Structure 1
Amino acid sequence: MAWTFRRVGTGDFELLARWLSHPHVARWWNHEWSAEAVERDFGPSARGEEPNEDWLALLAGRPVGLVQRCLWTDYPEYLAEMAPVYPVPPGAVSIDYLIGEPGDVGRGLGTAMIAAFVARTWADLSESSCIVVPVARANRASWRALERAGFVPVAQGELEPDNPIDDGQHLVLRLDRSGGWTPRSTGG
């Protein structure tokens, strides 16, 4: 599969709104999809006013998903919330992701997209040594896609849920630039 990625622009907001409205996305992202809400929440990144990055994932030129990327240190409040659950190492990156259309779900595209974006992250952010991702424990499809892309569970704990119907239990997964993470290789 030939994955490419490009930064989300304002011309992509209608597509994002459609994706956010689909039940398989809305369940876990719990995001408003009105034009105003998409502009409010994705506009600052699209204009370079926010430190996070929103990327469209294209497969053979067709938009299939969205990947968000940020350095943990760019969001101190998020880092502080995470600290009791898992001590995020300096320079760590986090990602969030979705597959947009219902017909693309359950075909292995999420795992392939994540793996391709990890390679992109290592190329773009040479100073980053690992990617640490908290996922709602109930979102089995999401954390299994991470595992299939090489991520390893490193912690579990309670974090503010994206969707208030969830209990806040999260699984934290990690992938090191070196290709794998084990407690023996990093000391924890």
Structure 2
Amino acid sequence: MHPIAETISFKPLAASDLAMLHEWLHRPHVRQWWGNPGTYAEVERDYLPYTTNDSTTRGYIVLLENEPVGFIQSYVVMGSGDGWWERETDPGARGIDQFLCNPNQLGQGLGSAMVHAFVDYLLQDPVVSKVQADPSP
């Protein structure tokens, strides 16, 4: 495990995080990959469902030494369509998407450590059999 990964934790996304998430989604380095997030109401519409237990997508705030540094989400791949794994038949497969919120933290290994730590986190659930990520960027 990457040494930084030991200081990374994941807080389930809450309604109280949406203003911060909205601001992050408008940062140029995030918009480049995540597109235009729209208004706060649109972010609330799109991400508030990720805070419930019945959603197949779960959102998390990434914490580095208890400071927010990014966002990561996991989702049940089977049936999600919209991607290169449309034919996935394993109900335990999870997909992930993520970003770091601060451009000055890019290119330093934090993103890789975040992904490693999150995969370890997801695999603690015995239902999860594998974790897949889109290769871009």
TM range (shorter): 0.7 to 0.9
CA contact (8 A) 1:88 1:132 kept: no
Partner of 2:85: 82
Partner of 1:97: 98
Q: Give, in whole Å, the separation in 1 of the partners of 2:122 and 2:44.
A: 25
RMSD of the alignment, in Å?
1.9
Q: Quick one: structure 1 residues 134 and 4, their matched pair in 2 at CA, closer, same or farther if it must change by over 3 Å?
A: same
The residue type paired with residue 49 of structure 2 is P
User: Helix, strand or coil for the counterpart of 1:135?
Assistant: coil
Task: Give TM-score scaled by structure 1 length.
Answer: 0.64
Q: Give, in whole Å, the separation in 1 of the partners of 2:74 and 2:63.
A: 16
Q: Give, in whole Å, the separation in 1 of the partners of 2:119 and 2:12.
A: 15
What do residues 8-50 of structure 1 show as CA deviations (whole Å, max 9, x unaligned)? 1111111111111111100100031421111011111124452
Q: CA offset at residue 56 of structure 1?
A: 0.7
Q: Quick one: structure 1 residues 119 and 81, their matched pair in 2 at CA, closer, same or farther if it must change by over 3 Å?
A: closer
Task: Give TM-score scaled by structure 2 length.
Answer: 0.85
The residue type paired with residue 24 of structure 1 is H
How many residue pairs match? The answer is: 131
The percentage of aligned residue pairs carrying the same residue is 27
Unaligned runs of 5+ in 1: 140-188
1:111-130 equivalent positions in 2, closer than 5 A: 111-123=112-124, 125-130=125-130
Task: Return the index of the structure with the highest Cα Rg.
Answer: 1
What do residues 131-163 of structure 1 show as CA deviations (whole Å, max 9, x unaligned)? 122233xx2xxxxxxxxxxxxxxxxxxxxxxxx
The residue type paired with residue 85 of structure 2 is M
Partner of 2:111: 110
Partner of 2:57: 52
What do residues 104-131 of structure 1 show as CA deviations (whole Å, max 9, x unaligned)? 21211100100010110111x2132211
Q: Give, in whole Å, the separation in 2 of the partners of 1:48 and 1:131.
A: 19
Q: Give, in whole Å, the separation in 2 of the partners of 1:80 and 1:31.
A: 19
CA contact (8 A) 2:96 2:131 kept: yes
User: Helix, strand or coil for the counterpart of 1:98?
Assistant: strand
Q: Quick one: structure 1 residues 31 and 15, their matched pair in 2 at CA, closer, same or farther if it must change by over 3 Å?
A: same
CA contact (8 A) 2:77 2:85 kept: no
